[in-house]
Amino acid sequence: MSAPTTPGSAVADLLGLVALGELLAFERMAADARLAPDLRRRAALGEMAAAEIASYRRLADRLTALGVRPEDAMAPYVEALQAYHDSTQPRDWAEAVTKAYVGDAITDDFLRAITTALDEPDRCLVLDVLHESRYAEFAAAEIRSAVDADPRVAHRLSMWARRLVGEALSQANRVAAADRGALTALIAQGERVDVQALFRQLTAAHTQRMLAAGLNN
Amino acid sequence: MSAPTTPGSAVADLLGLVALGELLAFERMAADARLAPDLRRRAALGEMAAAEIASYRRLADRLTALGVRPEDAMAPYVEALQAYHDSTQPRDWAEAVTKAYVGDAITDDFLRAITTALDEPDRCLVLDVLHESRYAEFAAAEIRSAVDADPRVAHRLSMWARRLVGEALSQANRVAAADRGALTALIAQGERVDVQALFRQLTAAHTQRMLAAGLNN
């Protein structure tokens, strides 16, 4: 990245997108915690949420160090990310943990895919904000236990997860369409990724994860 | 504290009360962040919230180490603390930051007052979960800037802060009344505190803080 880092530069765009994703994931998970059947689970989803905003802070600090106001870097993505969350409000605890599971995992796949296009220290930073596996394990265990308690739930959660991915990809397309060019150019610059291939890859990984949690894709 | 630490023991009760306070403060602040006028402030309240749940985790871990399930230690206080938050839902950003400011400060005053009654390591733990002053400074600055923008806001926020303290003390009385005896005994055991003196002291400190933020009590 020898281009100057200003709002609209590829790195600022990318960090802004990831930062906003973390900020909104934090808010929604924190809100969804109210759906928990008990205080232990309520706190557990709250802690997953807190991990998101810790990552937000690191990304925002990096943007500031680059001379970019975090809110300027995030602004172009507010509508699409907000639309994703507004259209995927969980109705119960099983849907809430499924959303956290699916959302974190797709975010991580996306982050891993784009690291090849980044220089240090941004590459390490993005790898560092990958979600801790204990959160995914907690969410997958909750999904399995919901399915164990009532096998019919598997079908409903499978449909729900499909909708989550559909909405995520639809909003991702909207981000790509609205992009000022730098971001998609950066992503396409990665060794193995063009945007369509990235989408296919994210979808395949999602299928694997659904199976791991006892759901069909 | 030579008495065994079980649910219902003074230390478990106290840590449970504080842990639940942190958990609910987290949830409400995270929810109130949606009232922020911009992404920067939205993230700032989110980060104040995340600090609460980090403290929750430390208290919950200590309870677990003492052989007490955190949810058991918290259970007696759910109704009173939930009632406090339900009866004090901020209607705008200025009310949200005022609530965070007042709530954190009263919590800290309470924590400082009870440390005299605690042995190590619980004493240090409770001192460690005191809120960082940068959060209070952020909230006080937001209150002052709301008042600067519209001086009439000072009166409304003063009334609001008075209501917050009133509701907090009312629910605290309810906690004390419902207490199984161990908690109030522990508090009264502190060097300088009986429960009524503690309330007076909290109220006096609150008045000082209101003045510091440009509000009347």
3-state DSSP of chain B: CCCCCCCCCHHHHHHHHHHHHHHHHHHHHHHHHHHCCCHHHHHHHHHHHHHHHHHHHHHHHHHHHCCCCHHHHHHHHHHHHHHHHHCCCCCCHHHHHHHHHHHHHHHHHHHHHHHCCCCCCHHHHHHHCCCCHHHHHHHHHHHHHHHHHCCHHHHHHHHHHHHHHHHHHHHHHHHHHHCCCHHHHHHHHCCCCCHHHHHHHHHHHHHHHHHHCCCCC
A40·B71 Cβ contact <8 A: yes
More confident residue, B101 or A114: B101
B53, B89, B132, best to mutate vs chain A, most A CBs in 10 Å: B53
**Beta carbons within 8 Å of A57's beta carbon, 6+ residues apart:** B43, B47
Structural tokens at position B165: 């303290």
- Cβ neighbours of B40 in A, within 8 Å: 69-71
Tell me, what CATH number does B104's domain have?
1.20.1260.10
Q: Reply yes or no on whether the pLDDT at A3 is more than 80.
A: no
* In-domain check, residue B4: no
Rounded to the nearest angstrom, the minimum Cα separation between A68 and chain B is 13
Inter-chain CB pairs, A–B, below 8 Å: 81
- Chain A residue with minimal CA distance to B27? A30
The per-residue pLDDT for A58 is 94
What is the pLDDT averaged over residues B102-113? 84
Domain membership flag for residue B5 = no
- Provide the residue type at B5 as one letter: T
pLDDT at B190 (0 to 100): 57
- pLDDT of B85 strictly over 90: yes
Residue of B nearest to A39 (CA): B71
Kindly list the residues from chain B whose CB atom is less than 8 angstroms away from the CB atom of residue A46.
23, 26-27, 30, 53, 56
Q: Does residue A217 lie within any of the structural domains?
A: no
- Note the pLDDT tens digit of each residue in B42-67: 999 999 999 999 999 999 999 999 99
Name the residue with higher pLDDT: B93 or A197.
Answer: B93
Question: Would you say residue A88 has pLDDT above 70?
Answer: yes
Closest alpha carbon within chain B to A52: B50
Residue A5 lies in a domain: no
Per CB-CB distance under 8 Å, the chain A contacts of B17 are none
Is residue B207 one of the residues assigned to a domain? yes
Residue in B46, B60, B78 closest to A27 by CB? B46
Give the pLDDT mean for A41-53. Answer: 93
What's the domain range around A68?
A: 10-212
A3 occurs within a structural domain:
no
**What is the per-residue pLDDT across A182-194, written as a single tens digit (0 to 9) for each?**
677 776 665 555 6
pLDDT at position A194 is 66
**CB spacing of A46 vs B54 below 8 angstroms:** no
Of A27, A71, A74, the CB nearest to B30: A27
Q: Which of A206, A77, A94 is nearest to A148 (CA)?
A: A94
Q: Could you tell me which residues of chain A have a Cβ less than 8 Å from any Cβ in chain B?
A: 20, 23, 26-27, 30-31, 33-34, 38-40, 42-43, 46-47, 49-50, 53-54, 56-57, 60, 69-71, 74-75, 78
Q: CB–CB of B43 and A53 under 8 A?
A: yes
The total number of structural domains in chain A stands at: 1
Of B42, B43, B56, the CB nearest to A43: B56
Q: What is the pLDDT of residues B151-209, one digit of tens each?
A: 899 989 988 988 898 888 888 877 777 666 667 777 666 555 566 777 777 778 777 77
Contacts of A118 (CB under 8 A, 6+ apart): A1, A11, A14, A126, A186
How close is the nearest chain A Cα to the Cα of B25, in Å?
11
Q: Do B70 and A43 touch (CB under 8 A)?
A: yes
Residue A128: its pLDDT value, please? Answer: 87
Q: Let me know if residue A199 belongs to a domain.
A: yes
Asked if A31 and B33 come within 8 Å (Cβ–Cβ), the reply is no
Q: Residue A2's pLDDT is what?
A: 43
The answer to whether residue B78 sits within a structural domain is: yes
